Structure 1
Amino acid sequence: MTLHRGVLCPAMALDPALHDWLLDTDPALRWQVERDLIDAPRDEWEATRSRIATEGFGARLLALQDPDGQWAGGAFFPKDFDFDGPEAAEGAGQPWTATTWSLNALRDWGLDPAALAGTAERLDANSRWEYDGSPYWRGEVDCCINAYTLASGVWLGADVSGIAQWFLEHRMSDGGWNCEWVEGSTRSSFHSTLNVLLALLYAEQATGGSDELRAARHAGEEYLLERRLMRRLSTDEPVGPWVTRFAYPFRAPFSVLKATDYFREAALHDGVPPDARLGDAIEVVRAARRPDGTWLQEHRYPGQSWFDVDVPPGLPSPWLTFFGTRVLRWWDGAAA
């Protein structure tokens, strides 16, 4: 998987108070701070990472797994979710407790997949998509759902080659993807494209990928870069207020923080410098940094969750501060 590749100019060293604050966090975050912000030795951050399965957020979420391998009894929605009831009403929010979202969290936190030994097989036997009842690792029709499933399948060792091929067959002519293709959309979506890119990069890092998938990933990146991660190609107007709204967990929506962090990882993986077209988005990230070096939690996506992993809106967020600092460290370090 991804190894530490430090890019740092001396001026980017963390303020001591910020350093201590970011280290006083759950192992799911702390190991990444150690690796990417303070250049701790590998054995140190790996030791912290190993604690995810037994401490804090990771241990809590593992304990909530059902005997059949799922969480909350369902693939994308909890078991017996009432699609016609108040929990599905406008503004109620997507429930974040089912299998897909739980796997996303554990994978993003860096859990060793060995802690989920046998889960891939149990999901194959027991989990079915609410959309059409197909087996879990076969995927669905939604680009974002298939992106999450591709990444989790690679992580857990499931055969998700069919989903990888699906992305080649469902890419839009403008280079990206759109979950609304099934409704007839022919233009790519910022949200869908970024979620697919995250999965394709994760799979490529883990398996080496293929020339076809790598080309598709680069085309999807170009879709976003042409629009500077923020603007409509036709009018140069902002695509929406969600572009500059920062919230953790990131969930499905697009933001320039989520996107610039992706482009950091992709550039390091590809061995290329930052693309200049990221500049406007980077400055949005920089402008959101407070004088004390933190970023505020600006929003919380509505919907049921197992437990909170970050602060309420209006407070300094350790997670957002980590991602913002990591992005600027890469960008400014490369410039230096």
Structure 2
Amino acid sequence: METNQRIRLAIEESIQFLESTSQWETAHGENSRRKWDGAWWHMAALYEMGEVKLIPESVIARAKHLLETKVWRTFVITADDQPTNESDRLKMDCCHCELAVFYMILKAYGCDVDTELPWIREWLLKHQLPDGGLNCEPEAYIHSRKSSIISTLPPLEAILWHTDREFTEQEAAFLDEGARYLIEHRLVCSKQHGGVLDMDWLKPCFPRFFEYDILRGMSFLAEWSRRRNKTLPVDLLVEGVERLKIYIEADGLRIGRQVHDPHGPWGGQTFPLLEALAGLDEVSPYLTGQLDRVIERLGPEYAYALVE
């Protein structure tokens, strides 16, 4: 079966699953976080494909209802942040990544999230650490005060890609500090010793959900520079493209890693759409488009040399 037909059939299966699943009524427990075949993941895959509009309106409404009624709206860092009554204890305890991806899905669909669910944007902006990033591990806010690159990108993307007005001062500072964090880490490196923090981050990954790869960071910096009228970190982006060259083919960028790799940190159950999109070593049109936009941002004087 050719790839396009396989993806179309897989999209239909995901839509049928989203319409029929009872996960929207489950506010807590493993069923609400099934990796990698829960409702959240199906919606995120469609969003990353640029096909969020294929999600039925009834499904979007159920997702919003879940966020409105079944999520504890405080990131639990200390005992004081815990819910105190039985009803609240049954609510989902979300992390920055999960909320940011939900936010991006709903915004891309056309929902007025900042009016209907204003606490999500407030949550994301509130939890930036002094180094410029965020961390989904509560201990980081008490002890190390150090961010996680994985936890940082979805919130940054939510604010950068889904603000259709001038940024507020708080939002501008949030994005600029996030860009500083990525630049200081050279997208994938330790500030202390300069070595690559995780070699898997050099491998293009799709779909990503909340996982990180170097192209995700590059895409953010390229768009941040444009939207914020900031100096483009040219040398860093050129270095990033050089790191990706082993995956660049004449017809595009190959997938170098699957987020659901059973031998990787997030291995787990899959679903047909995830498998149809994430063929290892296959050229991904979605990743190729991201790389093309980064190279376009670098300008014609760099484009020819980079792809040679």
Q: Same fold (TM over 0.5)?
A: yes
Distance 1:240 1:318 in 2: 25
Q: Does 1:228 align with 2:163?
A: no
How far residue 157 of structure 1 moved from its aligned partner, in angstroms, is: 3.2
The match for 2:148 is 189
Q: CA deviation at 1:188?
A: 0.9
Q: How big is the shift at 1:241? A: 1.0
Aligned partner of 1:304 in structure 2 is 269
Correspondence for 2:207 among 235, 240, 249? 249
Compare the two structures and name the one with the higher helix fraction. 2
Residue 196 of structure 2 aligns to a residue whose secondary structure is coil
Name the amino acid aligned to 1:217. Answer: L
Question: Relative to 1, partners in 2 of residues 1:115 and 1:255: Cα closer, same or farther, differing over 3 Å?
Answer: closer
Equivalent residue number for residue 157 of structure 1:
112
Which range moves more in the overlay, 301-310 or 235-244? 301-310
**1:170-319 correspondence runs (5 A):** 170-182=127-139, 184=142, 185-205=144-164, 208-271=166-229, 274-276=232-234, 277-290=236-249, 292-300=250-258, 301=260, 302-307=267-272, 308-319=275-286
Relative to structure 1, is the Cα distance of residues 329 and 254 closer, same or farther in structure 2, using a 3 angstrom cutoff? Answer: same
Sort the Cα spacing of 1:303 and 1:154 in 2 relative to 1 into closer, same or farther, 3 A. Answer: same
In 2 relative to 1, CA 126–190 (structure 1 residues): closer, same or farther, beyond 3 Å?
closer
Give unpaired runs (5+ residues) of structure 1: 1-23, 30-54, 82-93
In the TM superposition, what is the alpha-carbon distance from 1:178 to its structure 2 partner? 0.8
Structure 2: gaps of 5 or more residues? 77-82, 261-266, 304-308
Query: How many angstroms does 1:116 deviate by?
Result: 3.1
The answer for the alignment partner of 2:51 in structure 1 is 111
Q: Which one of the candidate residues 125, 129, 133 is aligned to 1:168?
A: 125
CA distance in 2, matches of 1:76, 1:228: 38
SS at structure 1 position matched to 2:137: helix
8 Å contact from structure 2 (residues 133, 148) kept in 1: yes
Shift of 1:115: 5.0
- Does the 8 Å CA contact 2:247/2:253 hold for their aligned counterparts? yes
Amino acid at match of 2:269: Q
- Superposition deviation, residue 186 in structure 1: 1.3
The 1-side partners of 2:31 and 2:122 are apart by: 29
8 Å CA contact 2:101–2:209 kept in 1: the answer is no
Question: What is the CA distance between 1:70 and its match in structure 2?
Answer: 5.1
Letter in 2 for 1:282: V
Q: Distance in 1 between matches of 2:162 and 2:281?
A: 35
SS in 2 for 1:66: helix
Q: CA deviation at 1:25?
A: 6.5
> Once the two structures are aligned, what percentage of the paired residues are identical?
19
Deviation at residue 319 of structure 1 after TM alignment: 3.8
* TM-score w.r.t. length of structure 2: 0.72
SS at match of 1:179: coil
